[in-house]
Structure 1
Amino acid sequence: MNLQTLPGLFISHGSPMLALNPEQVGPALQRLSSNLPTPKAIVVMSAHWESQALEVNTGIRPETWHDFRGFPPALYEIRYPAPGDPQLAEDILKRLSDAGFDAHANNSRPRDHGVWMPLLHMFPNADIPVVEISLPMHMSAEQIYQIGQALSVLREQQVLLIGSGSITHNLSELSWHGESQDVPIWASTFRNYVVQKLSHQDYEAVLDWNSIPYVQRNHPTLEHFAPLFFAMGTGKRFNIVHSSFTMGSLGMDIYRFD
């Protein structure tokens, strides 16, 4: 494989407070980026751009969107002014069309925290072009996986492909006030099942998400799990970059696909 070929990644982006309090995952993201060739561009499918149609951000310099409420003022002052890449976005639209997807350009969408928060730790200079693609929630897991497959060739062009979500994501079950809390069995069982299947290249078992133990308790809605399907489509060789839980049951895993 070409030395410049970049991996696909799945990143659990956690609470917006990760921007101010990196905990374990911030340093893990920094180490990951320092061990990669510098990307020419970054493409992110985020849990926070749910859409009806499949869309690609073609903007020249999308705004930083603070798409959350009730956090400290310092968080709302953060900007991630990385440029867009309209030429790459048009190339993505063509590749998706060639793969049979009906994809649309969107030049006005601001960047949600599922994009800028992990990149803040990975590439803090914000000097690498970033293109966001939407998460079409009417699509099946297999179709979202196929979007990753359709774009996987971009890895050979030094484009970093990222699915940004969370390996577990049930906000009603979290420990919000910092008290120590053991990881509940339903969260660890779910996470361990997914990792076991990916480690054995049994991608079909993960795409059959309804059969995963405790899936409804870990993901009352699917938007934070679905970016994993995209990342899985980018490569067949699975590795764990980082694994931890925060706030009790919020999984912070980072996975690499080569």
Structure 2
Amino acid sequence: MLPSLFVAHGAPLLAIENNEYTQFLEQLGTEFSKPKAVVLFSAHWESQTQKVSKVDEFETIYDFGGFPAALYSMKYPAIGDHSVTKEIEEVFQKQEIPYDLDTNRGLDHGAWVVLKMIYPSVDVPVISMSVNPNLSPMEQYNIGKSLSKLREQDILIIASGGTVHNLGALKMGKDDGTIDPWAQEFDTWLEEQLTKWNIDALINYNALAPSAELAVPPYGNEHFIPIFYAMGAADGDKSAKLLHRSYRYGNLSHSVWQFGESQ
């Protein structure tokens, strides 16, 4: 059985950088057995109804601007797995979770930047999933929970986002390793609640967590909420482990969380 993961995708520049975090992600792909497929929820695919990809081969989406030309020539032509898509459909139908199939959309940078580092050989099929910021945290959790049985088939569930992601607060010209105290305070609170699996506190993070309005601004909660999908997928284990945390640009958190055990 594979765990589920929450992986921060940071800035698109990660795809062409060599640093502490990129080295960690490159190593992460060797920590678990090679999955049959990856089901990936991306913060950069928002929808009001849950979207599930049914794609033969994904195009690479460059959903960003103003970055070095090298980024726009990178490709991650992952294939889909229609049998896994069908299984997800059956689960959603049984549990009456509304969904739509998507047969056209490629992989956004929240997906391909992470996958390119973890599985650079592009040899693991991918099923891309949207997130819905307008659902309650428990609804997001329950969507992840509905897919928990996939882990028993060596299917890796990844939720890609960022625990502290406030574009308005970034200090892009100051990447000297200093960390804004408010970002650390939020992540420290989050770590305590996750390791205790304190779901009551977590679903009320916006009222209870210190500096929540800075770490998860109302216009940017799509990057935080993927963590609930990943947690839900490990509801049977209810265990959380922080695998990595570092920061860039003062407060952009590169956190990786493992939910559930690898067996």
User: Contact 1:181–1:248 at 8 Å: present in 2 too?
Assistant: yes
Percent same amino acid at aligned positions?
35
What do you get for the CA RMSD once the two structures are aligned? 1.1
The amino acid that maps onto 1:53 is T
Quick one: distance in 2 between partners of 1:37 and 1:255? 17
- SS at 2:7's partner residue? strand
* Residue 74 in structure 1 maps to residue 66 in structure 2: no
Q: Which residue of 2 aligns with 1:191?
A: 187
The amino acid that maps onto 1:255 is W
Structure 1 residues 99-133: Cα deviation after superposition (integer angstroms, max 9, x where no partner)? 22111101011110111111111100001100011
Give the Å deviation of 1:185: 1.5
SS of 1:126 mapped into structure 2: coil
- The code of the aligned residue for 2:61 comes to W
Question: 235-244 or 157-166: which moved more?
Answer: 235-244
Q: Specify the alignment match of 1:246 in structure 2.
A: 248
Q: Secondary structure at the match of 2:147?
A: helix
Q: Give me the TM-score of the superposition, normalised by structure 1.
A: 0.96
Structure 1 unaligned segments of length 5 or more: list them.
Answer: none
CA distance in 1, matches of 2:129, 2:63: 17
How many residue pairs match? The answer is 254
Q: How far apart, CA to CA, are the structure 2 residues paired with 1:251 and 1:195?
A: 13
User: Which of the numbers 69, 88, 94 marks the counterpart of 2:90?
Assistant: 94
**Paired position in structure 2 for 1:217:** 214
Moved over 4 A (4+): none
> What is residue 146 of structure 1 aligned with on the other side?
142
Once the two structures are superposed, what CA deviation does each residue of 1:65-105 show, in whole Å capped at 9, x if it has no partner?
01101000000000001101122112112212222211110
- Contact conserved, 2:132 with 2:222, CA < 8 A, in 1? no
Shift in Å at residue 208 of structure 1?
1.5
**Distance of 1:119 and 1:110 partners within structure 2:** 13
Say which SS state the counterpart of residue 222 (structure 1) adopts: helix
Paired residues for 1:117-156 under 5 Å = 117-156=113-152
- What residue is the counterpart of 1:114 in the other structure? 110
CA contact (8 A) 2:41 2:128 kept: yes
2:78–2:126 CA contact under 8 A, matched in 1 = yes
Q: CA deviation at 1:147?
A: 0.7
Cα distance between partner residues in 2 of 1:210 and 1:97: 31
- AA aligned to 2:108 is D
- CA distance in 1 between counterparts of 2:174 and 2:13 reads 12
Residues of 2 paired with 1:173 and 1:154: CA distance? Answer: 38
1:167 & 1:143 partners in 2: Cα distance? 19
Whether the 8 Å contact between 2:54 and 2:127 is mirrored in structure 1 is yes
Q: For 1:234, give the aligned amino acid.
A: A
> Which TM-score applies when normalising by structure 2?
0.94
Counterpart contact for 1:32–1:241, Cα < 8 Å: no
The unaligned stretches of length 5 or more in structure 2 are: none
